[in-house]
Amino acid sequence: MLSKIREKFGSFYKFLWSYSDGKTILYEDHKKGWIPASNGLSERISTDLKRRGFKFLGPTTVYSHLQACGVINVHGIDCERYKKIIAKYPTIKKPKDDEKGVRYFGD
């Protein structure tokens, strides 16, 4: 499973970042505290990974991993990490409504 992803993309890292064209995603309403448990992007990646043989991996776990590895920036606008990411790395801003299948914590 993982070896086939590495073969095709070079690494699992590159596989994940291919979904955002190597840019950190900033959903406009994250800075207002709108942070879901999963969304359309995490659903697509989860479905792709399951198709490739991964198990026990759903959109919530994938969304958390995308946050942890920096594909999705969920830091508050006043957070130093948010500012460093914006200053140092390419980003893309998307309205929250661009992603379908959003599930919020507690849903």
Q: What is the pTM of this model?
A: 0.83
CB 42 within 8 A of CB 60: yes
Query: By three-state DSSP, how is residue 44 classified?
Result: helix
pLDDT (0 to 100) of residue 98: 61
Encode the chain (107 residues) as per-residue pLDDT tens digits. Answer: 889 999 999 999 999 999 999 999 888 776 666 778 888 899 999 999 999 999 988 999 999 999 998 899 888 788 888 888 888 889 988 876 566 666 665 55
> Maximum Cα–Cα distance for the chain, whole Å?
40
pLDDT (0 to 100) of residue 102: 67
CB 58 within 8 A of CB 46: yes
- From start to end of the chain, where are the E strands? 24-27, 36-38, 91-94, 103-104
> Domains along the chain?
2-104 (1.10.340.30)
pLDDT (0 to 100) of residue 4: 92
